Structure 1
């Protein structure tokens, strides 16, 4: 029997039979992974003669490229001197190019077929399908296009038309403009601790001895971070960190733009997780690739203790799988029975209040945060009859700014469940007000999704900045061809959603009553 291949996945050793693919190895291991999130492998044994790493020295900085092993890269290696002093070509939503140069290939090897690319792929293409018009292309997105790429002797769709992938300097590609150029090109002979993201086709590659793979970040949160905890859990939804920006020092995931109290403004060491509490990008999550000094604008909320290798190759638009501890305790919107089951699995004592039926819906609990519940080992939940919970569908694409305001006023920023108070009740509409003071201002409620011909019963609206009573929230009880849910004309009304629950539930309430909403 052939000797098994030893590989490392997330710093744990596994052995598999020869011929096992990377995807099969991941599936058979006990490791957490998600094919829709980035998975990277380590490049730490480079043959200096093979020249696997290409470095472009540009006017914006250095870009390192992990080269594929194909006909095109072999040609490139022998003609690297051509790619010095290359002027900026052009920029689209999908690519940035530098050229033109003459490249020594036969015109018959240039294809007019469409080719597919991933973010950060690097390729050569020939404008006008001519060898005299060779350009270096950097892909900025997953897309397909007809560029006039190189067609290898084998099936050119198997990476034959790509030079490789950017493994360092991806954050500067978007910054290139017409004044930039590639100054020089060279190969790196000795490289350690560099990483490359695997594509879907890479997962079908056969494993080899010494292969090192990384699939997720493991993070622990600081105990005393108050409301920052809910903010973090909301930004990192379903254990996925969406990368909005990268630099040499950090990766950033854009969060809800809301001011937060200063909490734990500590030294930001490598692996630190922070939330920016003020200034540009306030509410965003930062994870640090290297040490950074103290900043009053950043609250340190946790630390990545495993998988830091993924940070070095994560790019804008990537998703990173992250395993956060402790796990969030989510009870709001759950039935009493389900809430008890969730808590019992974590040895937490539950006290039912309000409606005690198994099917009653939890709309409040004390303590309010996961950390405090875990610390005390118990929680008191308050529930209501499920028929009292008002289901609302929000038009997120049509009125994003108004919905952001609505969620803040209804205390729904971190949860899909919120509450408002009836401030005024008329026969054709009701007006709603906040229960707790919102942090958001109503001064900049621009007109969006204004009605044109009729407002139907059950539609929810907000008075926009064109009217004096901007920020007023209302529900239309009767359809109307002139006035919106807050009694304003159409020009002063932003429609944000529709009530799905029978309106009789709302009509039976009186001024001062609370209405609990759940987003559907």
Structure 2
């Protein structure tokens, strides 16, 4: 049998075991981080992963009295005793230090063994948050037993009630020749190997005992971007990785703070507006970045990720989005999340078309949500063709709300014969290039959007019958982009001009 660490937990497995045997349900397209031990004979390392209720940090040990992180009696007493702008102290526990009663200079990330009242029986593990000079009741060497080398942002998140849950020795993963990401689940695991399968993020403002809403809008953008549970590494630099799937989406600038290792931001301005960033190293704050979360597990996977890797992601809290849900399903979601539920018309066969508040953190903060519903016969199901018109489908989702919700809306503009035209509001910055224009005939029930070659760019249309001359928006074929089809064509016959029409995308 051999021993490995899987997402911070020790496991004993048989020799010649593969990643697949450890991870039978892991998504095949998602990369895992593999950190090999420097030597097979190595039993201990100088690094320890300290898991706290606010996230993980990695400590590189140095100096004297370093065995405190291996003492079970000490670890069990590591609850946050006090914290201020300079340091945070966990304990107390007994130690054998002899306090020198002399102030010392400490740097951010220093881990100090000190004591309260110069009594070794009430010793503390103290984490320096910023450079400062203080007398922490340390010994003659200053008491620095190590340094935080990963997860420094967690130091700023500790609050009353936080505690250390586990302390585990880990293999150093700084040597990228022995540390890498892979999707090859047939890889044979080795004794002492560290395996990280997922990145877990806590949204800004979400705490176990309370919710704050200083970044509610930008955190909602994060939840939308990662609701698939996957982070696509479109760019990997020495300081960050970037997922561009929602680039081009406006995001409110709400919470500007320093971008420390493990910080998650969304860009609120510039060429990559709407992109989601996770930081590998500390960098200054930026007026075009809003902090939306913090990595609490899996920083190794973030640091080792390569461009085009897909990372498994979990964001807490899960999103509360009721749009597009049948009323009974929406009630169940609200009950499961322990928020009160107010509905405009409480009848069967209705679907949620709007909710207030609109963001997850606001709903959790108020512990209440109010929804507006519409009867099923007023909600039109559609299918979009991403394979043939990916750019036009993306534009359509953005201008109707389908890129954020399961239900969208658009106003009916003009109706004649069997043609139904809709005019959703489209930003002037959006470009609709010719794509998937019909050839020979525009099929019946096709859903289309007029491209930029015509004055009516952005107009959406449906024609119930096939036509060999004009597309669904009554434009010539070269001005028409076919983006999908309407399933519920009978419901269109009841639509009136200037009426708001609700739509729902059916995945096929």
Same topology, TM > 0.5: yes
CA deviation string 1:5-49 (max 9, x = no partner)? 44322222334456655443456xxxx95443222222342489x
CA deviation string 1:232-253 (max 9, x = no partner)? 2232242111111111111111
CA distance in 2, matches of 1:196, 1:206: 13
| Contact kept in structure 2, 1:408 and 1:439, CA below 8 Å | no
Does 407-416 or 294-303 show the bigger shift?
407-416
Pick one of 273, 277, 282 that aligns with 2:268: 277
CA deviation string 1:257-299 (max 9, x = no partner)? 2232322122100001111122222211110100011111211
Q: Does 1:490 align with 2:482?
A: no
5 Å matches for 1:114-153?
none
Pick one of 387, 399, 411 that aligns with 1:409: 399
| Contact kept in structure 1, 2:221 and 2:251, CA below 8 Å | no
Aligned length: 365
Runs of at least 5 residues in structure 2 that lack an aligned partner in the other structure: 42-171, 206-213
Q: Secondary structure at the match of 2:343?
A: strand
5 Å matches for 1:425-440?
425-434=415-424, 437-439=425-427
CA distance in 1, matches of 2:279, 2:358: 29
CA distance in 2, matches of 1:310, 1:271: 11
Partner of 2:243: 253
Shift of 1:449: 1.7
CA distance in 2, matches of 1:463, 1:423: 14
Runs of at least 5 residues in structure 1 that lack an aligned partner in the other structure: 49-189
Shift of 1:364: 1.2
The 3 A distance-change label for structure 1 pair 193 and 339 is farther
Pick one of 191, 204, 224 that aligns with 1:222: 204
The 3 A distance-change label for structure 1 pair 228 and 438 is farther
Partner of 1:243: 233
The 3 A distance-change label for structure 1 pair 478 and 374 is same
Pick one of 264, 286, 303 that aligns with 2:294: 303
Q: Secondary structure at the match of 2:301?
A: helix
Query: TM-score scaled by structure 2?
Result: 0.67
Pick one of 183, 200, 224 that aligns with 2:184: 200
CA distance in 2, matches of 1:294, 1:418: 35
Query: TM-score scaled by structure 1?
Result: 0.65
Partner of 1:152: none
Q: Does 1:328 align with 2:314?
A: no
Q: Secondary structure at the match of 1:344?
A: helix
RMSD: 2.5
CA distance in 2, matches of 1:481, 1:191: 63
The 3 A distance-change label for structure 1 pair 508 and 35 is closer
Partner of 2:413: 423
CA distance in 1, matches of 2:189, 2:452: 61
CA deviation string 1:106-154 (max 9, x = no partner)? xxxxxxxxxxxxxxxxxxxxxxxxxxxxxxxxxxxxxxxxxxxxxxxxx
CA distance in 1, matches of 2:312, 2:494: 46
CA distance in 1, matches of 2:18, 2:449: 55
| Contact kept in structure 2, 1:43 and 1:193, CA below 8 Å | no
